[in-house]
C-alpha cells in the first residue's frame, strides 16, 4: 500500500478509535452507576442482564472500530483519487481483521472480573474473547 495513503488512513482510524474508546468509557461508567443504584449496598455477583449490558457495550465498540477502519481506507483512497489494487485490497482486509481481533482481545479482558469488584463473570478461554467471533 502506498505509504502516504496508509498514513492518512491510520490517522483517520486513530481519531475514530479514540472517539469510540471515549464512548465505551462513558457507557461503562453509566452502566456501572445504574447497576450500583439498583443493587444498593449488596455486593452480589452480576447476573445475566448486567453481563449482557457490558458485552453489548464492547460488541458495539468492536463494530464501530471495524467500520471506522473500512471508512478510513475508503476516505484515504478517495482523497488520493486512487483505486486500490487487488493486492492492496487483500492488505486492507487483513488490517480490518486485525482490528477486529485486537479490539475483541482488548474487550475480552473485561470478562475477567475480580471477586472484589462485585462481578461474577470469568473468562474461561484465556482472554481470547471467543464470545464475539
122: pLDDT strictly greater than 80: no
Q: Quote the CA–CA distance of 53 and 62 in Å, as a whole number.
A: 15
pTM: 0.75
Q: Is 41 exposed, middle or buried (0-12, 13-18, 19+ CB in 10 A)?
A: exposed
pLDDT value at 3 more than 70: yes
Are the C-beta atoms of residues 65 and 103 closer than 8 Å to each other? yes
In terms of Cβ atoms closer than 10 Å to its own Cβ (0-12, 13-18, 19+), residue 60 is middle
User: How do residues 20-60 score in pLDDT, each as one tens digit?
Assistant: 999 999 999 999 888 888 877 666 667 788 889 999 999 99
Q: What is the mean pLDDT of residues 89-105?
A: 93
C-alpha cell at 104: 475483541
Amino acid at each position: 500500500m502506498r505509504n502516504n495513503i496508509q498514513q492518512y488512513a491510520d490517522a483517520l482510524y486513530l481519531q475514530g478509535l479514540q472517539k469510540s474508546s471515549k464512548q465505551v468509557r462513558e457507557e461503562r461508567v453509566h452502566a456501572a452507576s445504574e447497576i450500583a443504584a439498583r443493587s444498593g449496598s449488596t455486593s452480589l455477583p452480576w447476573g445475566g442482564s448486567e453481563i449482557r449490558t457490558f458485552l453489548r457495550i464492547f460488541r458495539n465498540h468492536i463494530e464501530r472500530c471495524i467500520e471506522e477502519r473500512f471508512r478510513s481506507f475508503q476516505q484515504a483512497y478517495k482523497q488520493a483519487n486512487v483505486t486500490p489494487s487487488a493486492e492492496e485490497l487483500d492488505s486492507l482486509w487483513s488490517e480490518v481483521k486485525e482490528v477486529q481481533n485486537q479490539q475483541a482481545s482488548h474487550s475480552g479482558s473485561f470478562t475477567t472480573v475480580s471477586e472484589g469488584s462485585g462481578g461474577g463473570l470469568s473468562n474461561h478461554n484465556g482472554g481470547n474473547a471467543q464470545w464475539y467471533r
